[in-house]
């Protein structure tokens, strides 16, 4: 029996870091990174991967502590740090797109970066013209023993990227793509979630029958809770449609 693969996910920053945000204050990097970490964690664990998170809430975790956590995992296969990028001097910027950083060329870290990049591109995510950047100065890349990749998942200083980064459906698509890339690197084939397939059919049915509608932009807001008022409206629509 093969040994369980191990991944350390590192959601960047923490709730005390309020500087890393969109210029309009509607997006905070620390929230996005933690949400993405939890999404990727769930997908990897569904495939039998042992996942360690360097943080699971908004409490501060130093860069040194993050590396200590990763380096304390025996046989760790991959360290993935999650971030969003920034450009300019505080306002909106034209810089946009997904990219990733590794310590230097070659080796397992390069293979991991290439596998993740391929999956992200296959999902239709916009990547930068130079999507893989070598940077030996980044602390978590320099001080982790296992192969390490840092993902910059878009620019929180670009209006188009921010719209995507705040969107639940986009986050699902991006998390799935990044998880697929990680699994490819680990040599684990992707398996579709049959429960998720049923979920997609159910959403299509309630939409087509007018039971549950999206907002004015067509967003079904599937990650949002349903109020008692909304639930009553859906029951009423079902009764009106089917008479039972």
pTM: 0.81
* Location of structure tokens 């029958």: 209
Domain with CATH 3.40.630.40 in the chain: 6-186
* Residue 191 neighbours by CB under 8 Å, 6+ apart: 46, 47
Query: Tens digits of per-residue pLDDT, 142-171?
Result: 999 999 999 999 999 999 999 999 999 999
Chain centroid, CA 4 distance in Å: 22
In percent, how much of the chain has pLDDT > 90?
Answer: 74
- pLDDT tens for 58-112 read 999 999 999 999 999 999 999 999 999 999 988 999 999 999 999 999 999 999 9
CATH classification number, 6-186, choose in 1.20.120.420, 3.40.50.1370, 3.40.630.40, 3.40.190.10: 3.40.630.40
Burial class (CB in 10 A: 0-12, 13-18, 19+), 179: buried
CB of 187 within 8 A of CB of 117?
no
């Amino acid at each position: 029996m093969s040994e369980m693969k191990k991944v350390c996910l590192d959601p960047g920053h923490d709730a005390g870091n309020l500087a890393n945000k969109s210029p309009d204050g509607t997006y905070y990097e620390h929230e996005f990174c933690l949400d993405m970490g939890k999404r990727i964690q769930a997908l990897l664990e569904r495939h039998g991967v042992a996942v360690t998170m360097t943080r699971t809430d908004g409490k501060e975790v130093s860069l040194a502590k993050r590396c200590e956590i990763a380096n304390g995992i025996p046989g760790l296969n991959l360290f993935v740090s999650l971030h969003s990028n920034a450009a300019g001097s505080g306002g909106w910027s034209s810089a946009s797109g997904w990219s990733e950083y590794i310590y230097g060329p070659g080796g397992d870290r390069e293979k991991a970066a290439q596998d993740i990049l391929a999956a992200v591109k296959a999902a239709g995510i916009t990547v930068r013209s130079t999507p893989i950047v070598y940077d030996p100065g980044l602390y978590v890349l320099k001080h982790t023993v296992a192969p390490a990749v840092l993902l910059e998942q878009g620019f929180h200083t670009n209006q188009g990227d921010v719209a995507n980064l705040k969107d639940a459906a986009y986050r699902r698509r991006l998390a799935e793509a990044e998880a697929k890339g990680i699994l490819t690197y680990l040599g684990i084939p992707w398996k579709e979630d049959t429960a998720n397939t049923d979920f997609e059919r159910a959403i299509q049915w309630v939409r087509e029958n007018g039971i549950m509608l999206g907002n004015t932009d067509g967003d079904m807001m599937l990650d949002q809770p349903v109020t008692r008022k909304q639930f009553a409206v859906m029951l009423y629509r079902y009764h009106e449609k089917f008479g039972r």
